[in-house]
Structure 1
């Protein structure tokens, strides 16, 4: 099979490309700069240079594709990221799905997220849950709008399956807040974390495999939550510290985090703060992003490894220099 994809230079997309190539498929990926995608080229991935607002590049990407994975997204916190979040997550999704429609691609898998539900306030929700209210972050909001766009295309006849990953972790994660904290702990440094708040955590290899299963077995028009085990952020950080045998975790109570969020919000208008220090990251750290993967398990046969096992693999990989 020939699969086209966006987001292949990212953490999840790179793993998905590896799995597809490893299974013997031809893969063509949209990249903004060929010179920064040498790893994909070495893997045997065909590259199309362009962006999500480049109609010509998107049309070239779809040529001869049996299936299309739209994985690309912008996941950053902070006021200075809002424009990029809207441009990539909303308009980029619309452009990508429209290109798939023009090309008549037989099957598209779109990467949404359970974060579109924002704070579930401790409730574990499924695909039928509909969030109402104010989103915790602009990332949550823009992915919610993009999810609506995807459902509109599916309703209009695009053969589309949606997957909704939870927090993704694993070897090779150098960009997310969790990935940075994990590396800091392995290096013996101190990290600050929230006391309270939590999420579901799924290993990157399992999430990528869930995408493949959605392409091969998912029902058109359906959404599948790919959520790993639920845990509080403090539990994950403390267990990571234990596995690393190094570092220190300092947990901040919600009252302190609220003060931090109030103080940093005005600063973000003047300077670009590190991701963990933004007011949105602070608010997200106090929220719960919980979902169940029961439907994906039943319909797709999807499984996810225990969190303990995945964290141990991640710490070992970082120690090995990966």
Structure 2
């Protein structure tokens, strides 16, 4: 198979979000027809509409999904519930696991030959408890966090099992693992709070972890390459510069015109804060500012390697400061920063 035929159809979920929207933009720019699933029946931003069809629906409706996928050459399943809040486990699992199962069923029924699934760098195995030294991991490091009860990576890992099973049954599947994504087009404002926090000066301290970062535009380009040049059943980490959480917040502050953190918190303090905030959230019913899962992830001292994606997909990642500057510019243009 030779990838996506020119001017054929791609079916995309998650188009109202950060990465899905950018994938749609790049597909349209490349001359493809795009069918986008949207619960609201619309997409944000200024996208050329001549080759864009928006289907109102959700991941629960297999019949609608099947009909919308007919004639597509590839599916990009990007939609996910990214909340890191164990209290909403059932809802998150329904979207991330059952929704993916429904997407695969619809793709098979519609005869779509290729399926690209967006997972997360959080499902890549990492040493725990975190060692003091920074460790580099890649796609060969198996998921090992089931005992830690982290809802987002666990449900995405379960979804990966569904995708891999479909691959063994004959569907061409590729699984991508984006890491901490920055850049323009964060329409749902998932990353914006980090910029807000530095502007307000509330990021006095930072956890002691390491984050691997990437740019949404490079990750979207890699998704198109995965459909064209990826190997079926293959996993690809999509990352870039790795740096401490404190250094990351310092550079976000520079882009946002905010204040950098002044010191680093020990892991126990971070976990203690998350316990207090989760306890408060059970009383208020509101999401915790720092959940148990967020705290755990902020203490991992791990770099994620993108060498496989670079070698097999031609993946590259632009400098982090460019991504942050472009993100800040986008937020200002929307009147959000």
* TM-score normalized with structure 1 length: 0.91
Structure 2 matches for 1:1-322, cutoff 5 A? 1-34=8-41, 36-37=42-43, 39=45, 43-44=49-50, 45-117=52-124, 119-120=126-127, 121=130, 122-133=134-145, 134-135=147-148, 137-173=150-186, 175=188, 178-185=191-198, 187-191=199-203, 193-249=205-261, 251-288=264-301, 290-321=303-334
Give deviations 1:150-192, integer Å, cap 9, x for gaps: 111111111111111111111232646643111343x454335
Shift of 1:215: 0.9
- Unaligned runs of 5+ residues in structure 2 are 1-7
8 Å CA contact 2:14–2:37 kept in 1: the answer is: yes
Give deviations 1:16-66, integer Å, cap 9, x for gaps: 1011111111000111121x4364776442111111110111112211101
8 Å CA contact 1:193–1:233 kept in 2: the answer is: no
8 Å CA contact 1:79–1:269 kept in 2: the answer is: no
8 Å CA contact 1:190–1:248 kept in 2: the answer is: no
Which has the larger share of helix? 1
| Matched position secondary structure for 1:132 | coil
Shift of 1:290: 3.1
How many residues of Structure 1 are paired with residues of Structure 2 in the alignment?
A: 320
Shift of 1:208: 0.5
| Matched position secondary structure for 2:138 | coil
> For the residues of structure 1 that align with 2:142 and 2:9, how far apart are their CA atoms?
35
- Unaligned runs of 5+ residues in structure 1 are none
Tell me: CA distance 1:40–1:216, structure 2 relative to 1, closer, same or farther (3 Å). farther
Tell me: CA distance 1:52–1:320, structure 2 relative to 1, closer, same or farther (3 Å). closer
Tell me: CA distance 1:178–1:197, structure 2 relative to 1, closer, same or farther (3 Å). farther
* Between 249-258 and 236-245, the greater mean CA deviation after superposition: 249-258
> For the residues of structure 1 that align with 2:125 and 2:89, how far apart are their CA atoms?
16
8 Å CA contact 1:29–1:48 kept in 2: the answer is: yes
> For the residues of structure 2 that align with 1:193 and 1:78, how far apart are their CA atoms?
22
Tell me: CA distance 1:53–1:289, structure 2 relative to 1, closer, same or farther (3 Å). farther
Shift of 1:119: 4.2
| Matched position secondary structure for 1:77 | coil
RMSD, matched Cα: 2.2
Tell me: CA distance 1:111–1:4, structure 2 relative to 1, closer, same or farther (3 Å). same
> For the residues of structure 2 that align with 1:109 and 1:177, how far apart are their CA atoms?
23
